[in-house]
Every structure is written in C-alpha cells, then in structure tokens.
Amino acid sequence: MLSNFIKARFLRHLMPKSTICIATAALHSKPTQLDTQITTIKLRFNKQNNIDKHVEFCEKLGITFSDNNLIHQVCTHKSVRSNTAPTNERLDFLGQKVISLYAAEYLFNQVKPSELHDRVYLYTKRSENIGKIGVKMGLNKLLHWTPINESQVIEAERNGQSLQSLGEESVTGRALQALVGAIYHDQGAFAAKQFVHKHILSAPIDISQKPE
C-alpha cells in the first residue's frame, strides 16, 4: 500500500494535472475498469470535438441552431448503425421538398412550363449537382457514414476513381438537403429560403443534363 502511495506521488510530478486522476486510478482499479473509463472519456471528447467542428462550419455559413446537436444529426448518414445517434434521413426528406419549392418558385417565370419540372429536378435528384455544391462548401469533411467497404475504398484510391464512384458525393448531397431541412425546421421558412437562394440556386447547373 505504501509502495502504491509513493508511486502516485512520483507520478504527480511527472504528469500534467489532467492525467493525475487516471494515473491514480491505475494503481487502485482493475485494468478492465480503467479501460472502460478511458474509453468513455475518449468517446465524450471525440463527440465534443466533432460537434465543435460542425458548429464552426455553421458559423462560417451564418447559421445558428438552437441545439448544436442538430448539425451533428445533419451529417450522420443512415449507413451509420447506432442505437443512439439520430440520422439525417427525415431532415433530408424535408430539405428536398423545401429546395424543390424554392427552386420552382425561383424558376417559375424564367422557364417554359414544360421545362419547369426537369429544371427543378436538377437541383434535388441529380446527386452530382447537389453533391458538388456540398463538397465545395466542405460539408463532405464532416460526414459520418460508412463507405461500401475498406478494400473497395483502397482499390478506388489506387485507381484514382472519383468521389462519386465511392458514394461520397451522393451522401454529401443528402447531407446538404438535410441541412436545408434542419434550417427550415429550426429557423423557419425565411431563413431556409435565404440559404437555398444564396448557396444552391446561385450555383451553376448544367441544364443540358437529363433527369436520372
């Protein structure tokens, strides 16, 4: 017991204050209990670190959510299997409808009635369009999703394949739609309309594309 006390005193001078509690616990707790405690600390730190990055992203775009966890949900794709983390599926659905509404409103007097549906379609159904906008914004760097599998990712990188071939562009597009849905849900229609006009409808779109 005395030996443990001396070790703890010695470690106190070598380690920063933030690690003293962990070092002391290591002398008096079972390894499995300590491992569990450290893992929990790491998970909490990683989650907070991720949220901070997401909040920073929102601040750059001038978005302030009432709950910071909402932007984390926006970036969590349904491919992430978790019993606790909500995914962006419902926000994606809502955002797609919101974008369609404001795109139709914006194009209503600019295109022929026969072209209106296809032009609106380009903003919401062509993954390379909405996805590229999201990538340009840096949204793809904040995504939580599971690619097809690790070996296919490595093979694609070796062959110089595009982001779209890995599915990242499509997932980014869905996250951008979810972001619009979150803005509409949390900030209201006016804020969502401003965002859609500034970041989506202002982006160049190849109108020669045909609906998928």
Q: What residues does each domain of the chain span?
A: 1-61, 67-205
Query: What parts of the chain have a pLDDT lower than 50?
Result: 2-3, 5-31, 34-45
**What's CA 35's distance to the chain center, in Å?**
29
Those residues whose C-beta lies under 8 Å from the C-beta of residue 144, and which sit 6 or more positions away, are 50, 72, 75, 76, 77, 80, 85
Write down the pLDDT at residue 129.
87
> With b meaning 16 or more CB within 10 Å and e meaning fewer, what string describes 117-144?
eebbbbbbebbbbbbbbbbebebbebbb
Torsion angle (degrees, nearest 10) of CA 87, 89, 91, 92: 130
Tokens representing 79 are 């491919």
Q: Which CATH class is domain 67-205?
A: mainly alpha
Write down the pLDDT at residue 81.
73
Write down the pLDDT at residue 111.
87
Write down the pLDDT at residue 51.
66
